[in-house]
Amino acid sequence: MTQTEKDKLKQILQLTYPEADPTLIDQIISINADLTFEEAQKQSEIILLNRLILELDEKIKLGEIETQNTEKLKLLKERLQTLQQERKQKARIISLE
């Protein structure tokens, strides 16, 4: 990815997931820097969703946040599942070519 694409991806992730740690977003983008923008966007979102789900799960278990946030957790898990299914479908298409 170019620096412009990295900046754009950072902005997208920060706007989509404002509760995410900016340092974590930077690290994820750095890890995916050698991918195309589209691939990096999906992969970065999958990593970030996994991390946010783990953090929310832990906070709910510890009683640090109220159960109203379980709805947010459910939505994050649904988004993650959708992204993973898209990735699997793309992999199948590529393997058929």
Task: Enumerate the domain spans of the chain.
Answer: 3-96
Question: In Å, how far from its chain's centre is CA 70?
Answer: 18
- Exposed e or buried b for every residue in 63-80, given b needs 16+ CB within 10 A? eeeeeeeeeebeebbebb
Neighbouring C-alpha atoms within 13 Å toward the C-beta of 57: 9
**In the prediction, which pLDDT does 66 show?**
65
In the numeric block, which tokens belong to residue 48? 């970030």
Give the N- to C-terminal CA distance of the chain in Å, as an integer.
25
| Separation CA 35–CA 17 (nearest Å) | 21
Give the predicted TM-score (pTM) of the model: 0.72
Instruction: Quick: pLDDT tens for 45-95.
Output: 999 999 988 888 887 777 766 666 677 778 888 888 888 888 878 777 767
The answer to whether residue 4 scores a pLDDT higher than 80 is: yes
Question: Residues 7-14: what's their mean pLDDT?
Answer: 96
The answer to whether residue 5 scores a pLDDT higher than 90 is: yes
**In the prediction, which pLDDT does 23 show?**
95
